[in-house]
Chain A
Amino acid sequence: MIDLTTRYLGLTLRNPLVASASPLSKRVELVQRMEEAGAGAVVLYSLFEEQILNESHTLDHVLSRGSESYAEALSYYPDLPHYNLEPDRYLEHVRRVKQAVQIPVIGSLNGVSLGHWIEYARKIEQAGADALELNIYDLPTDPAVPSSTLEEIYVTLVGDVRRQIRIPLAVKLSPFFTALPNVARRLVEAGADGLVLFNRFYQPDIDLERLEVVPTVHLSRSEDLLLPLRWIAILSGQIDADFALTGGVHSAQEVLKAMMVGARVSMLASELLAHGIPRLSEILHELEHWMLEHEYESIAQMQGSMSQRAVAEPAAYERAQYMRALNSFDRWLP
């Protein structure tokens, strides 16, 4: 019998397939179906800092605007007894999901600035989440702000969130750091139990006919795996945290690779969005089949087996590999 269990953020998962934050977790029945299909855990869709702040402000704006201006219409809306704003709905959703499934449920909070919004970390914990994923999705645009300042903010933010909660905390990062290992270490020192690599930035596009900037969403592809794969390989042996690989996981092959470089779990969403929740059980089946065929007893056995520290040629993950890869283009020369 093959042991697929893994430990992530102090939780024991029945296997390393974790459904990452996506619209699929917006409905309780879909989370149940993911559980039935074999997901080891689920990260719920993200509650955004902007939702916490903006919805409240927007509601206030709408209810206040035009009021007390004109004698015949002192308001324009009935005074409803309560407003179930997105943050509250999110918490309620956490509660309902927790009641509906047995697998660990990881809440997700997405934001970047320091402020009161992080109190929702505690509220997500109180709602029953087994762990929290803090998604630091920042796009610096101010030339006056140096990277050191931003990094300091992220570290402070992680520390602030850490102090709000007792449940394990994972931090989801982007790959765009000059000194990613250093940042990773500082975030872990600030209280992160795990690091999720990497965040995908959704890049806006341009509509040439309308001359408008338009948002785009592309699902991940298998090639996207390589970036987090390398970084987990480099970091997993050096940083004392549980690593999760996300982005580019579409088959058992990618799950295996993720485990081998040292990830505790591999997260997937695009594959499920594109081909359905049953893909989870298919991938699990492929995973077991491969392990059986290659005589692996457990996931733990392979975890980190190909991290930078473990491989025979650590430079393969470093700059030297880059030069070799570039040279390999030579064969396309005419």
Chain B
Amino acid sequence: MEQPWTTMDGNEAAARVAHRLSEVIAIYPITPSTPMGELADAWSAVATPNLWGSVPTVVELQSEGGAAGAIHGALQAGALATTFTASQGLLLMIPNMYKIAGELTPTVFHVAARSIAAQGLSIFGDHSDVMAVRGTGWAILASSTVQEAHDLALIAHAATLRARVPFVHCFDGFRTSHELNSVLPLGDAELRALIDTELVRAHRARALTPDRPSIRGTAQNPDVYFQARETVNPFYAACPAIVERAMEQLGDLTGRRYRLFDYCGAEDAERVLVLMGSGAETARETVAALAARGENVGVVTVRLFRPFSPEHLLAALPPTTRAIAVLDRCKEPGSVGEPLYLDVVAALQAGRRQIPTVIGGRYGLSSKEFTPAMVRAVFEELARPEPKNGFTVGIDDDVSHTSLAYDPAFSIELPATVRCVFWGLGSDGTVGANKDSIGIIGAEPATYAQGYFVYDSKKAGSVTVSHLRFGPQPIRAPYLIDTAGFVACHQFAFLERLDVLKLAAPGATFLLNSPYGPDEVWAHLPTEVRQAIRAKGLRLFVIDAGQVAQSQGMGGRINRVMQTCFFALGSGMPREQAIAKIKASIEKTYGKRGPAVVRQNIAAVDASLAELREVSVADEDSGRNGTAATEARRPPVPSAAPAFVRQVLGPMIAGEGDRLPVSALPCDGAYPTGTARWEKRNLAVEIPVWEPDLCIQCGKCSMVCPHAVIRSKVYAPTLLAGAPEGFLTTEARFKEFPELRYTLQVAPEDCTGCGICVEACPVKDKRQVGRKAINMAPQAPLREQERANWDFFLGLPDVERAGLNLGTIKNSQLMIPLFEFSGACSGCGETPYIKLLTQLFGDRTMIANATGCSSIYGGNLPTTPYTVNHEGRGPAWANSLFEDNAEFGLGMRLALDNQCEQAEGLLRAHAALVGPELADALLAADQHDEAGIAQQRERVGLLKLQLRELLQAQAAPRDAFVAAECDALNQLLALADALVRKSVWIVGGDGWAYDIGFGGLDHVLASGRNVKVLVLDTEVYSNTGGQASKATPLGAVAKFAARGKASPKKDLGLLAMAYGSVYVARVAMGADDQQTLKAFLEAEAYDGPALIIAYSHCIAHGIEMRKGLEQQKLAVQSGAWSLYRFNPALADAGGPVLSIDSKAPTIPLEQYYQSEARFRVLAQSDTARAAELQAQAQREVRTRRAALERLAAEQGGPA
């Protein structure tokens, strides 16, 4: 009988087993393990039972620490419990892991192994996290393929019950967790065969129960702790054999045989690699190829890393082994070697096995590619007389010279395997279509398929590269395709900035989505593309997918069109059959979204092939197919960029970061700011165009622009000399600036085209009300002109801050934003607040940023949006962790305050030397406004000058007293800048503030220290894909709240107000921009902790992002989001402390809920529950409003 192969990724493979073998699943989202929790939640939501017929309870906790605690409790109460996590999440579980192991409790944690944040965060895969828990007493079982992630998940669940040792089951993050591959799924029968129900009962029998009470978690003393620790030894001793037995059982049932240490290769191998995870699969395939060529090489795959069984390792090694290289996918700085290497060395020692050469090395950190070429390089190294220990492979280490050279051209790809690469935009649906294609192809008889998807670090305009392999043999190639027989470029614009043909094999098919037809396209191809097409002899096909998609009402979703063309050209499937399969897949995928969508997609399929054309490639760039050569591909950054940007960030932008050597990168993770401006991503199809005659210069467009691409300046008319023709200017309408000119300028190449500015513009042309003072127009024809205008505009001087009233929107928008062109979603609701913060206080602000969207668009390489003003000042920004951000910011404040105190002390002590007048002025400085800060900066400048002169005069003091004085002055010089007021802003999302970081936030607010907190409240975990947080409103659908959130949103503002000493504001820029501005200024001015909770519309709300401001308005009008400011400083003046800034609700909540899909989809899936939750939410609105009004009345404020 034909085996039922199914295509799935590693996360699904593991979750499918874990869900069936668990009763309680406690989770917390963290990349790349999040999909496991989401799948488990989705299955339980539709009452999918476990092996014993009950539906596992899935709960989301406030952190991974919380999840581990909940699991610990569930286990103690006798449940079969599991969780899914990675990286920092696993680290947060460590304290509980020690406990769970110490109590000999069976459980499995499934880990999509990921890097740990060190010099920088990385979401990608390696073994840093798993290796960090090797001391907890947990068994560690590693899978190296998607099939293994499925099979070993079962082995882990089976073995833990028998061994009573808890298991970490891990597989490589992304490479395995996100790789689609053909898998033979395990049926319930196989699960039953391996899971001994007696052992389940035994686990329950050990549980805490008042019916047979016992206590656990005792405090033990020096007399017995040590002995008690040794009691568990027999369990660890027995564990390897238990795992081995379970593997044998599975092998008997399925034919898939695994060993604790699996050897493959030549029987008489002399050179052997030892490694675990997906790299082992690459090594196995390479070894098979090399051994077939007669090389005496082999590889040991480590499956059970803990408890480490030396005898099993030794038994796996061929007796002929003379040299071993142990490869670790992690780094342990300062150690003799990485963990696996050390264990192998110790195991050889324990087994008294003499192997002349044993070396260790590192590979594949943070999903760095690990290819057959690299495997061969390690074998070649082993063949050298004195091979390198502590080597690296896959990078160019030109600092410590650890790296091994390898030949990138070496390949072991099977000729029968078809390899296809697709370049797409995130928003065009390329990846989704390719996942669909993999499903279709993988379902064909005797066809195996693999899909892996590479995403860039931007949220708007992200580039995706899909790598698809399929063929008649199983695909065992966990590395990217390096030569493809089919290359598709789904966006014509990529050609000018990316080398999309670098992976094209000679004679490959190149499918291009082109707005130009077969007769015109050649003239529009960059020189390099033409050269590549000719040199490699490619067949070029074009289709105007945009036009076809438009004609079918599909907008920019060109995926269906391109997928159809792929099937016609590259799938190897007969056309008719392929089309039928696509259509069937459409029915399956879109059926529940309604027949209209199904028909639309099917119509797109039918319309596509007729438009697909082959282009006859011209020999010369003339004649029918081409005029003179067009432009060459443009460099990733302009030549005017600083050297670091050109030489280091440029290659990263171009997707060539893998080529950068170690020496190119900062050793401590510190990067320059002001780099996003060099990227020039040209994402916008349309950009705003200013109408000076209509504009009232209110600044609203500029304020709401999420990407800081609309700027205004006032300047002297004389400065217009040399302005480009077409540079727009008008008379400034500012009472502070009579006689000056005004320009509103758009950055055409940085705009994302979200259109929020147009929505914010309050002006309507009296002759044509649809026309505003700013309107969208196609970017391409405007690009050159506006680029010149933008450059000229940047050269105009910025407005002098001192003395300017920043309390009006229009004035505030003359301030230069020190946060620009971020990679946030187009139309992001968070970034305007950060931008405003930087406009108002950016020149003196340190930002502590919680992990999440804001840390990604704020600090994800290659570039950062934080930048500097003309004085070189700007926000200093850092991200510590997700959970500790408030404390991190508090630490910054403590250091700054301490430095200021030290500087003041030194100044007082040496006032006579530096001049009493200057010292007094510095110590008594009033820095409450811009002018005061500017004056203090001048004074500090003078102080430094004075100090330098004094120190110069005493260049080599001989007198001890003078030397001590000089030392003090030197200290003062180093600390002098601390005398200028600095702000600390603690920024993060609701996942941080309401959930994982709440304890710390609460403590920091209570500390009374002068820190400012900005909570960008999107009401979900936006960065990991919309999981519910405690900020999620009642009745909203989110992941882990698929039936609508049943509890009300936590009132963070009220909690903070309860201290009475914290400034608190709730703002929504789209509803009241002036109130937002006021809140920021008051928070900054308040001498103590301040909290601003900012409504941030988000792509996860299911809204048109362009209408984000309107949604904010509806939220406020309905009372779902009330605006207020609570200013304890006003109490002294006897004024009202709490000011409610929004009216009592003027529209029913229903109107707001109806306008956002996050609420609407609940009505679509469960009408009765939606109505019930909405009614409850409406009551909640009334109650909260009443409570706020009562509080305001008590505080003497207007209700």
Told that A72-B31, A73-B1024, A77-B1102 touch, could you supply 10 new A-B pairs with CB distance under 8 A? A60-B597, A69-B455, A72-B1025, A74-B1025, A76-B1025, A78-B38, A81-B1165, A82-B1165, A83-B1165, A116-B596
Q: Which of A54, A59, A74, A78 contacts B42 (CB 8 A)?
A: A78
Asked if B1161 and A83 make an inter-chain contact with CB atoms under 8 angstroms apart, the answer reads yes
* A85 adjacent to B1039 (CB under 8 Å): no
Min CB gap A304→B, angstroms: 43
- Please name the residue on chain B nearest to A86 by beta carbon: B1164
B595 within 8 A of A: yes
Bound together, the chains give a CA A60 to CA B1100 distance in angstroms of 14
A67 CA to B1039 CA, complexed, in Å: 14
Chain A residues within an 8 Å CB radius of B1161: 59, 62, 77, 80, 83
Q: Is A216 at the interface (CB under 8 A from chain B)?
A: no
A70 to B460: give the CA distance in the assembly, Å.
9
Chain B residues with Cβ below 8 Å from A89 are: 1167
Residue B35 is within 8 A (CB to CB) of chain A in the complex = yes
A-B pairs, 8 with minimum CB distance: A69-B426, A56-B594, A73-B1025, A56-B596, A68-B431, A78-B1042, A76-B1026, A62-B1157
Which of A64, A66, A71 lies in contact with B455, CB distance below 8 A?
Answer: A71
For A60, A64, A85, the residue with the greatest tally of chain B CB atoms inside 10 Å of its CB is A60
Query: Looking at the complex, which one of A59, A70, A81 makes contact with B426 (CB distance below 8 Å)?
Result: A70
Do B1164 and A83 touch (CB < 8 A)? yes
Partner of B1167, one of A66, A67, A84: A84
B1049 to chain A, nearest CB (A): 19
Q: Complex: how many Å from CA A73 to CA B989?
A: 15
Q: Is A310 an interface residue (CB 8 A)?
A: no
Could you tell me which residues of chain A, from 110 to 135, have a CB within 8 Å of some CB in chain B? 116-117, 119
Which residues of B are found within 8 Å of A83, using beta-carbon distances? 592-594, 1161, 1164-1165
Listed residue (B597, B599, B764) with the most chain A CB atoms within 10 angstroms of its CB: B597
User: Are the CB atoms of A70 and B459 closer together than 8 Å?
Assistant: yes
State whether the Cβ of A325 lies closer than 8 Å to any Cβ in chain B: no
A76 to B1157, CA, bound (A): 11
Whether A262 is near chain B, meaning CB under 8 Å from some CB there, is: no
B429 on interface, CB distance cutoff 8 Å: yes
Contact B1026 A69 (CB under 8 A): no
> Quick check: is B45 within 8 A (CB to CB) of the other chain?
yes
Distance (whole angstroms) from the CB of B118 to the closest CB of chain A: 19
Instruction: Identify which of residues 1144-1199 in chain B touch chain A, using a CB-to-CB cut-off of 8 Å.
Output: 1157-1158, 1161, 1164-1167
CB-CB contacts of A30-56 with B at 8 A, as 1s and 0s? 000000000000000000000011111
Nearest neighbor of B1020 in chain A, beta-carbon distance: A76
Select the residue from A56, A72, A75, A80 with max chain B CB neighbours within 10 A. Answer: A72
Interface residues of B in 1013-1037 (CB under 8 A from A): 1022-1026, 1037
Q: List 30 A-B contacts (CB under 8 A).
A: A52-B594, A52-B596, A59-B597, A59-B1157, A60-B594, A67-B432, A68-B426, A68-B435, A69-B431, A69-B455, A71-B31, A71-B32, A72-B34, A72-B123, A73-B1025, A73-B1026, A74-B35, A76-B1099, A76-B1102, A77-B1026, A77-B1161, A78-B41, A78-B45, A78-B1037, A78-B1039, A80-B1161, A82-B1165, A85-B594, A116-B596, A211-B769
Q: Which of B32, B455, B593 has the most CB of A within 10 A?
A: B593
> How far is A71 from B124 in the complex, measured between Cα atoms in Å?
9
Contact residue among A56, A71, A79 (Cβ-Cβ distance under 8 Å from B597):
A56
Which residues of the partner chain B approach A211 to less than 8 Å between Cβ atoms? 764, 769
Residues of A within 8 A of B553 (CB): 57
Contact between A71 and B174 (Cβ–Cβ < 8 Å)? yes
Let me know if B869 is at the binding interface, CB within 8 A: no
A232 to B600, CA, bound (A): 41
Residue B462 is within 8 A (CB to CB) of chain A in the complex? yes
Q: Is B1092 part of the contact surface with A, judged by Cβ < 8 Å?
A: no
Q: How far is the CA of A33 from the CA of B435 in the complex (A)?
A: 53
| Chain A nearest Cβ from B828, distance in angstroms | 11
Q: At the interface, yes or no: B249 with Cβ under 8 Å from chain A?
A: no
Q: What is the CB-to-nearest-CB distance from B250 to chain A, in angstroms, rounded to a whole number?
A: 30
Question: In chain A, what residue has the closest Cβ to B455?
Answer: A71
A87 at the interface (CB under 8 A from B): yes
The CB with the most chain A CB atoms within 10 A, among B123, B596, B1040, is that of B596
How many residues belonging to B are interface residues under a CB distance threshold of 8 Å?
Answer: 62
User: Once bound together, how far apart are the Cα atoms of A77 and B45, in whole Å?
Assistant: 14
| Minimal Cβ-Cβ distance residue in A for B1021 | A73
Q: In the complex, which residues of chain B have a beta carbon less than 8 angstroms from the beta carbon of A117?
A: 596
Of chain B, the residue at the smallest CB distance from A206 is B769
Q: Does A63 contact B (CB under 8 A)?
A: yes
| Tally of contact residues, A, Cβ under 8 A | 39
Q: Tell me, yes or no, whether B610 is within 8 Å of chain A by CB.
A: no
Query: From residue B41, how far is it (CB to closest CB) to chain A in Å?
Result: 7
A56 and B1042 in contact, given A76-B1100, A78-B41, A81-B45 (Cβ under 8 angstroms): no
Q: Are B1165 and A80 in contact (CB under 8 A)?
A: yes
Say how far A110's CB is from chain B's closest CB, in angstroms: 16
Given A71-B174, A82-B1165, check contact A64 B432 (CB 8 Å). yes
B854 on the A face (CB < 8 A): no
Q: Mark B822-847, 1 if CB is under 8 A from A, else 0.
A: 00010000000000000000000000
- Report how far A22 CA is from B8 CA in the complex, Å: 49
In the bound complex, residues from chain B placing their C-beta under 8 Å from that of A54 are 596
The reply to whether the CB of A65 lies closer than 8 angstroms to some CB of chain B is yes
- Considering the complex, give the chain B residue whose CB is closest to the CB of A81: B46
Say yes or no for B547: interface residue by CB 8 A criterion.
no
| Residue numbers in B under 8 Å from A73 (CB-CB) | 1022-1026
Q: B410 an interface residue at 8 Å Cβ cutoff?
A: no
Known interface pairs A69-B427, A76-B1025, A76-B1099. Does A57 touch B459 (Cβ–Cβ under 8 Å)? no
Of B453, B557, B595, B769, most A-chain CB atoms within 10 Å: B595
Residues of B within 8 A of A60 (CB): 590, 593-594, 597
Q: Which residues of B contact A78 (CB under 8 A)?
A: 38, 41-42, 45, 1037-1042
Question: Is there an interface contact between A77 and B596, defined as CB atoms closer than 8 Å?
Answer: no
CB nearest to B555 among chain A residues:
A61
**A57, A62, A82, A83 — most chain B CB neighbours (10 Å):** A62
Q: Which residues of chain A have C-beta atoms less than 8 A from B107's C-beta?
A: none
Residues from 183 to 231 in B contacting A, C-beta threshold 8 Å:
none
Contacts of A119 on B, CB cut-off 8 Å?
Answer: 595
B1165: chain A residues within 8 A (beta carbon): 80-84
- Mask, B451-474, CB within 8 Å of A = 1, is 001010011001010000000000
Residue of B432, B458, B1023 most packed against chain A (CB within 10 A)? B432
Q: Which chain B positions have C-beta within 8 A of A68?
A: 426, 429-432, 435, 453, 464
B600 to chain A: which residues have CB within 8 Å?
57
| Distance of A82 Cα from B45 Cα, bound (Å) | 12
Q: How far is the CB of B465 from chain A (nearest CB, A)?
A: 12
Given the contacts A68-B429, A76-B1025, A77-B1026, A84 and B593 also touching, CB distance less than 8 Å: no
Q: State whether A116 touches B35 (Cβ < 8 A).
A: no
